[in-house]
Amino acid sequence: MKNVNKYARGYFMPPVTSLKWTEKEYITEAPTWCSVDLRDGNQALVIPMNLEEKLEYFQMLVKIGFKEIEVGFPAASETEYMFLRTLIENNLIPDDVTIQVLTQSRDHIIKKTFESLKGAKNAVVHLYNSTSLAQREQVFRKSKEQIADIAVTGAKLLKKYAAETEGNFQFQYSPESFTGTEIEFALDVCNQVLDEWQPTADNKVIINLPATVSMSMPHVYASQIEYMSENMKYRNNVILSIHPHNDRGTGVADAELSLLAGGQRIEGTLFGNGERTGNVDIVTLALNLYSHGVDPGLNFENILEIIEVYERLTRMKVPERQPYSGKLVFAAFSGSHQDAIAKGMKWHDEQQSEAWSVPYLLIDPKDIGREYEGDVIRINSQSGKGGIGYVLEQHYGLDLPPKMREGFGYAVKDVSDKFQKELMPNEIYDIFNEQFVNLTSPIEFVSYSFTQHDNFETKVTVSIDGNVEELIGTGNGRLDAINNAIKEKLGLEYNDLFYKEHALETGSKARAVSYVSITDPNGTVSWGCGIDVDIMTSSVKALFSAVNKLIKD
């Protein structure tokens, strides 16, 4: 591509090696989660949510289990100010939930922010100013000392207005554009703010280190976080927070590695909605933890309900292949995948295994409110016999013999390919009925009777092209006798009669289903299926269906 040399690396590695996080295998406990859907997420919407929509969204976040929720920038607009006052004055904030508000380091903005918080039971006041080299040089045209003074002045103002305002407040500071800031300077600014706030074990503060723009590979961000964690003053009294964006598509990786590196808290949004390419996706992060056997502390057992509310209120769409939450994320169209999943499901049922290990499925879809039948096995022209057979068995109780599954699979794939569409379970069942079940042309079975001496003798009444005829045959069993009658009367050559049957339902009125295959002299196998309340009749119908297939083919 052109102009590649114009893109210099704009991030800053720590001055010392910070790689202790690489020695850890996985995250052992969930971080503190802070949803910023109502701030970062809302400001990224083409049509921001109104007051009623924000209230509904807030209630959903509470229901999911968020204990910290950033509700907005109350000094920025009347809607955000009124939303915060509505929450407080109508007592809509549960006692165990802390709200968070954002403010720039400017006196009149901080003053109005605390006015909006009057009476808050628990609130985090989030102070920020940009510290990056690019912003210092191009936007503010200020020195490091001047930028640090903005942060410290804001820290002092937070103390001043908090002391004058009714409520319970915790302080948070973000060196915005942290990833584009020289790491020693970012540490110095944070330490100056901490010196002003003097955090204690009973009054901890939050230092939030945002990847406002994701500028590096994830391991670099993790090393930056580890350096800050190991060199920050008052570390035991500081909650180290991570706020990754997703410019490079690595938001989740940034967050996970940073948690290994000392991060204790994550700010993000449901499904990653945020400016540009978005914030880190908390649903993915939380369910990644869940897939490793770590309780994320958030409830996504009803993911489809959450998606419905999210899409309706934000007017955004969850992509079909979004991890865990996408409509098709558990769906397998590939034949080999479907076969492995179907066999894995059956193995788990047989073994009653508590540990989840089904091939191709990272977690059990049912644990987040998804259904196997509609979400896992999806049928199109790429599907295989295993998946197609699985659909018939799960939806209609038809347990096709393996060889019949193969033949039927080709029939289904041909239909899907012809019409260029995915086939629903009822369409697959209709194809099976039309091509294999109780076939009556050109030979229609009418009735039979048996007598038994040394062998079984049968009289079978059939209708051939509208003419009723009677077939006579003998055999060592009922089905063998009928089979011989058919072959003798019609002069058909076939052998290798295969038979399988099972009940289709339970109870006194249950139907039986039978499967029969026959092989002609050329080795071509024809399958038939019979369904009837009488097991013998179902087997006879299956045989006649196979014979009709043979004649037609």
Q: What is the mean pLDDT of residues 486-496?
A: 88
Residue 497: CB partners within 8 Å, gap ≥ 6?
A: 479, 480, 483, 516, 517, 518, 543
Beta carbons within 8 Å of 7's beta carbon, 6+ residues apart? none
> Region 8-28: what's the mean pLDDT?
90
pLDDT at 147: 97
* pLDDT category of residue 420 using cuts at 50, 70 and 90: confident
Segment 386-414 shows an average pLDDT of 86
Phi, psi of 210 (to 5 degrees): -85, 140
In this structure, are residues 105 and 151 in contact, taking their beta carbons and an 8 Å threshold? yes
Percentage of residues of the chain with pLDDT beyond 70: 97
Tokens of 475: 């055999």
Which of 139, 123, 121, 146 has its CA nearest to residue 177? 139
pLDDT tier at 418 (50, 70, 90 boundaries)? Answer: confident
Nearest to 327 by CA among 282, 378, 285: 378
Q: Sheet containing 456-464: give its strands across.
A: 443-452, 456-464, 467-475
Domain ranges (residues) in the chain: 28-314, 335-432, 443-552
pLDDT band of residue 141 (cuts 50, 70, 90) is very high
239, 245, 248, 253: CA torsion to nearest 10? 40
Rounded Cα gap, residues 190 and 233, in angstroms: 9
Do the two domains 28-314 and 443-552 of this chain adopt the same fold?
Answer: no
Mean pLDDT of the chain: 92
Q: In what order do the strands lie in the sheet with 495-503?
A: 495-503, 512-519, 525-532
For the cut 90, the answer to whether the pLDDT of residue 159 exceeds it is: yes
DSSP output for 164-206: HSSEEEEEEEEEESGGGS-HHHHHHHHHHHHHHH--BTTB-EE
372: confidence class by pLDDT, cuts 50, 70, 90: low
Q: What is the mean pLDDT of residues 347-365?
A: 91
pLDDT higher than 80, residue 376: no
Q: How far apart are CA 110 and CA 108, in angstroms?
A: 6
pLDDT(385) > 70: no
Which two three-digit tokens encode residue 35? 């949803």
pLDDT for the residue 452: 82
pLDDT at residue 407 above 90? no
- Tens of pLDDT, residues 217-234: 999 999 999 999 999 999
The more confidently predicted of residues 408 and 190 is 190
User: Distance between CA atoms of 303 and 286, rounded to whole angstroms?
Assistant: 12
Q: Which residues pair with 102 in a beta bridge?
A: 126
| CA–CA gap between residue 425 and residue 412 (Å, rounded) | 11
User: 457-480 pLDDT, tens per residue?
Assistant: 999 999 988 889 999 999 999 999
**Mean pLDDT confidence for 174-183:** 97
Q: Which amino acid is at 165?
A: T
Which letter does DSSP use for residue 47 in this model?
S
Mean pLDDT (whole number) for 403-407: 89
Average pLDDT in the 126-148 region?
96
Taking 90 as the threshold, does the pLDDT of residue 23 lie above it?
Answer: yes
- At residue 160 the predicted structure's pLDDT band, cuts being 50, 70 and 90, is very high
CATH architecture of 443-552: 2-Layer Sandwich (3.30)
Give 513: exposed, middle or buried? Use CB within 10 Å, 0-12, 13-18, 19+: buried
Tens of pLDDT, residue by residue over 59-98, are: 999 999 999 999 999 998 898 999 999 999 999 999 999 9
CATH of 28-314, one of 3.40.309.10, 2.60.120.330, 3.40.640.10, 3.20.20.70: 3.20.20.70
* Confidence at residue 384, expressed as pLDDT on a 0 to 100 scale: 64
- Please report which confidence band the pLDDT of residue 331 belongs to, taking 50, 70 and 90 as the band edges: confident
Contacts of 426 (CB under 8 A, 6+ apart): none
Confidence (pLDDT) at 340: 86
Query: What is the pLDDT averaged over residues 26-50?
Result: 96
Q: How far apart are CA 137 and CA 34, in angstroms?
A: 32
Q: Tokens in use for 307?
A: 């998606």
CA–CA gap between residue 480 and residue 477 (Å, rounded): 5
C-beta atoms surrounding 289 within 10 Å: 22
pLDDT value, residue 378: 66
pLDDT (0 to 100) of residue 189: 98
